[in-house]
Amino acid sequence: MSQLIHPKNYKALLDMHKTEQGIKLIKDFFQQNLATELRLRRVTAPLFVMQGLGINDDLNGIERPVTFPIKDLGDRKAEVVHSLAKWKRLTLADYKIPTGHGIYTDMNAIRADEELDNLHSLYVDQWDWEAVINKEDRTIAFLKDVVERIYAAIRRTEYLVCETYDSIKPFLPQKIHFVHSEDLLQMYPDMTPKEREDAICKKYGAVFVIGIGGKLSDGKKHDGRAPDYDDWSTVSEDGYAGLNGDILIWYPVLERSFELSSMGVRVDKAALLRQLEIEGEEEREKLYFHQRLLNDELPLSIGGGIGQSRLCMVLLHKAHIGEIQASIWPESMRKECRELGMPLI
């Protein structure tokens, strides 16, 4: 069901012309900073992949991919990507990317089952990135270092935006706070996962929640993750399960937590087999991606996605993602947004 957050006393700080200029400024600057921080090279990515190879991202496992038949392939089906989590790892192997380096790309997706609101659209655009790592890098310490590098690039981009547009003032804290989802549960046992995220983000301003995908001590997951890309089951040096997480900020325009990135150390063979068993998805072992991983044809890696429209929305202080990107919205939402001073593209 579509729903709309009504921000208090909202007024767009930039008109539509300056907004478009700001979008280009952010995208050009941030992706170069990201590439420099993580030693990434740009590659060209697909909009769709063949069905049945196990390459498409399954997200929470319930979202339906957009599919279509290909005439010249005997009507075999292709799927519009949800994200490129597994495709990127295949590309690291095929391009023979050396350890300590990686790739990034512009990922464009259609998520037809998305519930539309200020943050969620049918159209998803991300910087998808992936880097080759050593076995010794599969640690929380390494994960935190990468998160801090990404957050530093975000803050540098915020500084540029504020220097360019006098009406926009910085709000991101200097440092990002780390917390495991199990600790978050213990801190706020009577809250839902979303309420916990709101509480911790309001307290610290920017947070990386570690360990998303596996069940916590209450028998529930903080949030869902597919079993075949992020490693959410390996017990790390801090004694908790999970080598992945989300970058979240407190967004004062909407007075709520706001996810900018989902990322993590990827599964090795042991974690893949364990997570497929946990989720009852052992049949996936036969798929193309999974066979290449199980046959030691793919490198160990870390990777994630960073929302392009989301980052632009936050740094330009917009109240609706439709002020940043062109998509389809219910006519009632368009009308309501116009009345609230946030016209959708």
For the stretch 100-119, pLDDT in tens is 999 999 999 888 888 888 99
- Please enumerate in sequence order all residues whose Cβ is within 8 A of that of 118, keeping only pairs 6 or more positions apart, or say none: 4, 5, 254, 319, 320, 321
Which is catalytic among the residues 37, 106, 148, 259? 259
- Considering the candidates 31, 126, 301, 309, report the single residue annotated as catalytic: 126
Catalytic residue at 262?
A: yes
Residue 161 tokens, joined: 């935006």
Active-site residue, from 57, 125, 128, 268: 57
246 in catalytic set: yes
Highest mean pLDDT among 79-93, 106-120, 286-300: 286-300
Of 251, 294, 281, nearest to 60 by C-alpha is 281
> For the segment 208-262, what is each residue's pLDDT rounded down to a tens digit?
999 999 999 999 999 999 899 999 999 998 899 999 999 999 999 999 999 999 9
- pLDDT digits 0-9 by tens, 134-190: 999 999 999 999 999 999 999 999 999 999 999 999 999 999 999 999 999 999 999
> Listing from the earlier edge strand, what are the strands of the sheet with 48-50?
48-50, 76-80, 67-70
Q: What is the mean pLDDT of residues 70-87?
A: 87
Tokens of 150: 């990404």
Write down the catalytic residue from 117, 130, 183, 246.
Answer: 246
List 261, 262, 275, 308, catalytic entry:
262
Catalytic (active site) residue 113: no
Count CB-CB contacts under 10 A for residue 173. 15
Phi, psi of 303 (to 5 degrees): -170, 180
Active site residue 259: yes
